[in-house]
Amino acid sequence: MVEYIKSYFEQKKRDMDSINPEDVKVVVDALFQAWKDGKQVFIFGNGGSASTASHFACDLGKGTLQKVYDPSEKRFRVISLTDNVAVMTAFANDVHFDEVFSQQLNNLVNEGDVVIAITGSGNSPNVIKGIEMAKRFKAKTFAFLGFDGGKLKDMVDHYIHVKSSHYGRVEDCHLMLHHLITDYLHKKIKESANQKL
């Protein structure tokens, strides 16, 4: 058991080391610009990636705040498209499960908004259709990917790729990425506020 645990941790480190830090910087810069410009941020995925989308939206919306009780503080306008069960099941039932993200984006997304898809395979039809809808509205599109990147790799404006074929570790890395990004944005926003003083 102990050897298995050590092996998992060692492989996790290799998986994290496969990520290009410059790719992460591109996503951070895009999110910081969205915050400055008051653009919306939409995040979505399936299964474990749906959970990460919810967590990421929570942390961007609250975890980047300097004074959580200050209603005047500039905030991220961020929505996880995985959180409204009524909307998702209505679109799945009345249209198709492949449309659960694209239909929501059709209601909400605007040009210049940021849309982030989180997916291990990069091939989920509903995630692909979500990105297609985002691009139709000229939103900026990003993806957190695993395995070989799938179809989504060639569709988005930019992606972060975890070069692993183990779903659990890919999802682990995506969660760590979102925490890293949120933590750095908190720091960056604080520096921005201090510069205005």
What pLDDT shows up at residue 193? 74
Domains of the chain are 20-191 (3.40.50.10490)
Helix locations, 42-82, DSSP H: 48-58
* C-beta of residue 28 within 8 angstroms of C-beta of residue 181: yes
What pLDDT shows up at residue 12? 92
Output the CA–CA distances (angstroms, integers) from residue 181 to 132, 152, 186, 188, in the order listed: 25, 21, 9, 10
Answer whether residue 197 shows pLDDT above 70: no
Element (H, E) at 184: helix 167-196
What pLDDT shows up at residue 38? 97
**pTM of the entire predicted model:** 0.96
Dist CA 39 CA 114 (whole Å): 7
Smallest CA-to-CA distance from 84 within 122, 44, 36 is with 44
Dist CA 92 CA 76 (whole Å): 28
Mean pLDDT, the chain, rounded, equals 96
Summarised one tens digit per residue, pLDDT across range 102-150 is 999 999 999 999 999 999 999 999 999 999 999 999 999 999 999 999 9
Dist CA 115 CA 102 (whole Å): 11
Output the CA–CA distances (angstroms, integers) from residue 104 to 54, 93, 123, 141, 157, in the order listed: 15, 14, 19, 15, 20
What pLDDT shows up at residue 194? 75
